[in-house]
Amino acid sequence: QKEVEQNSGPLSVPEGAIASLNCTYSDRGSQSFFWYRQYSGKSPELIMSIYSNGDKEDGRFTAQLNKASQYVSLLIRDSQPSDSATYLCAVKSAGNQFYFGTGTSLTVIP
Amino acid sequence: DTAVSQTPKYLVTQMGNDKSIKCEQNLGHDTMYWYKQDSKKFLKIMFSYNNKELIINETVPNRFSPKSPDKAHLNLHINSLELGDSAVYFCASTTPGSGGNTIYFGEGSWLTVV
């Protein structure tokens, strides 16, 4: 399986702080990158996708991609308790398959 | 309408039994998947089908056999269930292409083998 690695966590941040989640991948042919959020007992849901190097912002979320370093990150600004969940990094390989990282558990402390 | 639906949602069964999980998507997607998520939240791809054809079969015991009667359905049959098969099994679908596109998940099937 193509490797997608995330910082293991768990990560705890106070409410209002910035949460930073990181991901590296091994397949240099990958072109599409995603961040999914998974609440306990639920299925993963897409929160961000990024395809080009640089930053992509969507509300309080910013995804960053550096293909040369094979690195993807997600920043969550003004973290809220409702952001507490497991965040999964996903990479779409050159063979059009989706591979997921091990997930980082985030807890936002009120 | 549910986009990707899978049944049953919960399944408790004894070791050695055979069970099936069914999945259907109404999104018109060409590609369907089965993923296994263990207790540590790792989502591991098991199978990928494109238009009823098997595309990927990761290292999965032969006891697991997927079947795709048409491109909207992908079922998973498990023979001789073992304790280690206890996990959440997610069905998912997408449309292949060189561009970026997202993968849609079903609600998951919680399998417990006792």
Q: Alpha-carbon dihedral of residues B37, B42, B46, B50, nearest 10 degrees?
A: 100
**Count of CB pairs separated by less than 8 Å, A with B:** 62
Q: Which of A31, A49, A88 sits opposite B43 (nearest CB)?
A: A88
Q: Give me the mean pLDDT over the A20-35 stretch.
A: 92
Please give the full DSSP string across A52-75, using - where no structure is assigned: SSEEEEETTEEEEEETTTTEEEEE
Do the chains contact at A1 and B99, CB–CB below 8 Å? no
Q: What is the pLDDT along chain B (114 residues), one digit of tens a residue?
A: 669 999 999 999 999 999 999 999 998 888 899 999 988 788 999 998 888 888 877 778 999 999 999 989 999 999 999 999 999 999 999 876 545 578 899 999 999 999
| pLDDT for the residue numbered B97 | 57
Which chain A residue is nearest to residue B109, measuring alpha carbons? Answer: A43
**Dihedral of CA B20/B21/B26/B27: which sign?**
negative
* Strands B53-57 and B109-113, bridge-based pairing: unpaired
Q: Which two tokens stand for residue B68?
A: 């795709």
Q: What is the mean pLDDT of residues A19-47?
A: 93
The span from the first CA to the last CA of chain B, in angstroms, equals: 34
Q: Does A34 touch chain B (CB under 8 A)?
A: yes
Q: Does B58 touch chain A (CB under 8 A)?
A: yes
Interface test with A, best of B2, B40, B43 (most A CBs within 10 A): B43
Distance (Å, whole) CA A102 – CA A93: 17
